[in-house]
Structure 1
Amino acid sequence: MPPKVAQIPIKKDEDSTYRYKMPRLTPRKLSSGNGVKTSIINSADIAKAIGRTQALLTQWFGYALACQARINPSSSQIIMNGDHPAKKLQDSLYEFIDNFILCPHCLNPETTMEKKGSQLILVCHACGHSDPACVGSHATYIQKTLDWILSHIQSEQTKGQNVTQRAHGRLDEIDEYEKQKANEQNEATTGVEINVEEFKKIEAELDAQNQKAVERPTEAEENAYFEKFGKQLVGEETDAEIFEEFNSMAERGGWNSPTRCAIIFEYLFRGEPTEILNSIEDRRGFIIRVLNEDGIQKDFQTAMASFIEKKVPELFTSAPVIWHCMYNNEIIEDSAFLAWYTARPSKRFEDPEKAKKLREMLAPFKTWIETAEIEPEPEEDVKEEEEKPEEKAEDKKDDINIDDI
């Protein structure tokens, strides 16, 4: 059970007399072999205090810190790959609160969320205003969080809805709401007056939107994009910029998870396959963004296995180094690796004999993952850390070459 911690204002820079408070974020560093993870041991209490769910907080930290984040079901703690100082996490939490909690009009945290069209609306129960969230925020991780919320929330402005006020705009009530909605009688439709002209206008607008949404790119458009994509990966564009265009094209083209991974391998490693470790580190941020959905880490490892088995078999002996590089760069998690390793190889993408050989090469890495001890730091180390200048990624990055290893 997490230790009792101090209560601090939900709104940043307020004094101790501020009415609305939450527990101070309490992280703990966990070491797992050579990998380091950070847990937020009181994330459930924080989520309750600010009126949002742990699932949403987990998505926020994953997007904002560009790391793999998940909820540990046994301890109800948020676990993130990497070492994240307490001050950095607390500042990130306040940024989340500024964008998704505080009323844009009166800055009061008594808000709930509603979806109206393509907008996320913060409904303030203090001043009564309803205003769009994240106005003027253009950071990619904020937009991704906004998109995630919009795809997981139901507006309460639907006739016949029978959800309690406590569930108003909260993501953790969606499953229950959907069950109730499916079982409800369509009583609200009886005796409703319909404006035919307005109905036809709305229907035409929806048809136009649906037509636009399902419009797939032509073969010429895809080929032009692939050529551009290959140049982007070796160019100066940021990982976020590359991902934004890649994700847009993937949605238009209906690319499933294996297809996305296959495209990455085709264009990220086609130039110098033996420079695969450098390629992973160069575009780490892009790969993490692509894999930030359930199940894609498994498909990515299948694509890696297929790439080695079919195109660069000389890398068989380097497989443990490659997987260790993916693990250290937070591209795959230990649970995702073990799930892929123990599953039956895909006959569609892997040759059975070569797949068996590859997994034999990875057996030492599997043992290392399974036997790595997790040692939590002493609780006194959880105290708020002094602000320290962070090292630039460029200063820490070393060129890696498989031949050297």
Structure 2
Amino acid sequence: MAGFVNVRRDVDDKFYRYRMPILLTKIEGKGNGIKTVVPNMADVARALSRPPTYPTKFFGSELGAQTSVDEKNDRYIVNGAHDATRLRELLDAFIDKFVLCGSCKNPETDLILTKNEMIVRDCKACGERTNVDMRHRLSTYIIKNPPPKKGKKSKGGHAEAPSPPNKINGENGDPDGEENGAGSDDELTRRIKAEAAELNADTALAKEDWSADTSPEAVERRARALQSGIASLAVSNNGGDDDSDEDADSPYSQLGRWLQENPGSSAIDVFKKVQELGIEKKHKAVQVLAQGVFTEDVVAEIPKYVAIFAKMVTSEKHQKALLGGIERLAGLDYPDLVPSIPKILMQFYQADVLEEEVVKTWGTHVSKKYVDKETSKRVRKASEPFLKVTEHFRCTGNRAN
């Protein structure tokens, strides 16, 4: 039976009132299927007053590994072989970032989402409210899966709570993200600024010339390519949307024309247009954006617009639509982009917009849904380097950067 340790393992006081079970691990499987199970994750999380999914996702983020959760059977898994010592160190880091009060370091805190979707630790000991690091990938997950409020208890020992007013579409909502609100423009601005702040001026990316060619010839060339792509836009209506893409007055056609007439628009302006058309929750809008907002400089342009996709892509269907837009962008509009497919996918993957399994399915199956069969084969085959890299890092437990 597992013993107990202080929540703050740097505190040696044996009378310290805040205790938690020692994190246990169990290695299962072998080869590419090896995984680390945390059998007492629910008990540890209960002691921290956090949903067990939070530390599990934190482990996956820090280790660059896929995670899986089966709350019904209390199964919390991190892909790859990870020893208990390493996971306990990461648990300490999770506690420091998402449990301890930033002022008095007391663990008696609740996570609260503010109206502008900032995450704060509300300390019951000193009364202070301190912000968590919104740049961490777990913060994005918490926004999509907000912490429960005190009240009715769930299986994991935490209360179930209604979603806050500005909750971003996520895993706990409608699978297609059609029912929940899309969030505020202020929040989108904050995310864009936060992501921009992460860029180190000394990095190779920062040294690249990200400016778009605005010469009349370049603008005309992009307009012709986009017009051609929009004119041939062919999206299946199997997804359940009522709008017809063949209708020149459909919101998708209107969005495509607006993007054509306003190249280089800011992310805020683009998202406001999507909201104005009332399609911010539609997967087809994601495809049109992916094909229409980018140019041949897509690798450099993704950081500018990635926050829009992070907000709008809330289901596997949305991810497939994004991949369809990328397929048309590279396959039809700018064929020279095909070799850059791995870089494009990696940027969306690292921003938590695309999931490895969805890209893997897409990259290993040819489809005529968005382009002709030969074009689909060429574009999807180009994703192989991305799939090999993510598979390697998933098996080794390291993070793909």
Compared with structure 1, are the counterparts of its residues 15 and 315 closer, same or farther at alpha carbon in structure 2 (3 Å cutoff)?
A: same
Query: Which amino acid is the alignment partner of residue 354 of structure 2?
Result: L
Give, in angstroms, the shift of residue 79 of structure 1. Answer: 0.9
Counterpart contact for 1:60–1:145, Cα < 8 Å: no
Query: Which amino acid is the alignment partner of residue 120 of structure 1?
Result: I
Q: Does 1:143 align with 2:116?
A: no
Q: 2:67 maps to which residue?
A: 69
1:317-332 matches, within 5 Å, as 325=388, 328-329=391-392
SS of 1:246 mapped into structure 2: helix
Distance in 1 between residues matched to 2:186 and 2:379, nearest whole Å: 47
Q: 1:256 maps to which residue?
A: 318
Q: Does 1:174 align with 2:181?
A: no
Q: 2:122 maps to which residue?
A: 123
1:150-299 matches, within 5 Å, as 152-153=146-147, 163=151, 172-174=159-161, 218-219=258-259, 220=263, 221=265, 225-227=293-295, 230-232=298-300, 245-249=305-309, 251=311, 256-265=318-327, 271=336, 279=342, 284=346, 286-287=348-349, 289-292=352-355, 297-298=357-358
1:83-98 matches, within 5 Å, as 83-98=81-96
Q: Does 1:13 align with 2:13?
A: no
Counterpart contact for 1:55–1:71, Cα < 8 Å: yes
Distance in 1 between residues matched to 2:399 and 2:68, nearest whole Å: 26
Distance in 2 between residues matched to 1:290 and 1:64, nearest whole Å: 17
Query: Which amino acid is the alignment partner of residue 136 of structure 2?
Result: T
Among 352, 365, 375, the alignment partner of 1:305 is: 365
Query: Which amino acid is the alignment partner of residue 226 of structure 1?
Result: F
Give, in angstroms, the shift of residue 43 of structure 1. Answer: 0.8
Q: 1:375 maps to which residue?
A: none
Counterpart contact for 1:22–1:50, Cα < 8 Å: yes
Query: Which amino acid is the alignment partner of residue 290 of structure 1?
Result: V
Give, in angstroms, the shift of residue 232 of structure 1. Answer: 3.6
Compared with structure 1, are the counterparts of its residues 208 and 299 closer, same or farther at alpha carbon in structure 2 (3 Å cutoff)?
A: closer
Distance in 1 between residues matched to 2:398 and 2:53, nearest whole Å: 30
SS of 2:366 mapped into structure 1: helix
SS of 1:306 mapped into structure 2: coil
Query: Which amino acid is the alignment partner of residue 143 of structure 2?
Result: D
Q: What count of residue pairs does the alignment treat as equivalent?
A: 277
Distance in 2 between residues matched to 1:173 and 1:101, nearest whole Å: 19
User: Whose radius of gyration is greater, 1 or 2?
Assistant: 1
Query: Which amino acid is the alignment partner of residue 323 of structure 2?
Result: C
Give, in angstroms, the shift of residue 57 of structure 1. Answer: 2.6
Q: 2:56 maps to which residue?
A: 58
Compared with structure 1, are the counterparts of its residues 142 and 24 closer, same or farther at alpha carbon in structure 2 (3 Å cutoff)?
A: same
Compared with structure 1, are the counterparts of its residues 76 and 264 closer, same or farther at alpha carbon in structure 2 (3 Å cutoff)?
A: farther
Compared with structure 1, are the counterparts of its residues 304 and 77 closer, same or farther at alpha carbon in structure 2 (3 Å cutoff)?
A: same
| TM-score normalised per structure 1 | 0.52
Distance in 1 between residues matched to 2:392 and 2:308, nearest whole Å: 25
Give, in angstroms, the shift of residue 46 of structure 1. Answer: 0.7
What is the CA deviation profile of residues 230-271 of structure 1, one whole-angstrom value per residue up to 9, with x for unaligned ones?
Answer: 3349xxxxxxxx578424246469993322122344568965
Give, in angstroms, the shift of residue 212 of structure 1. Answer: 9.7
Among 35, 38, 61, the alignment partner of 2:36 is: 38
Query: Which amino acid is the alignment partner of residue 248 of structure 1?
Result: I
Identity %: 20
Structure of greater relative contact order (alpha carbons < 8 Å, 6+ residues apart): 1
The two structures, once aligned, show a CA RMSD in angstroms of 5.1
| TM-score normalised per structure 2 | 0.52
Q: 2:200 maps to which residue?
A: none
Distance in 2 between residues matched to 1:290 and 1:82, nearest whole Å: 22
Distance in 1 between residues matched to 2:9 and 2:377, nearest whole Å: 55
Distance in 2 between residues matched to 1:391 and 1:298, nearest whole Å: 20
What is the CA deviation profile of residues 272-313 of structure 1, one whole-angstrom value per residue up to 9, with x for unaligned ones?
Answer: 86898xx38x96574362234xxx945762464235954265
Give, in angstroms, the shift of residue 227 of structure 1. Answer: 2.4
Counterpart contact for 1:7–1:24, Cα < 8 Å: yes
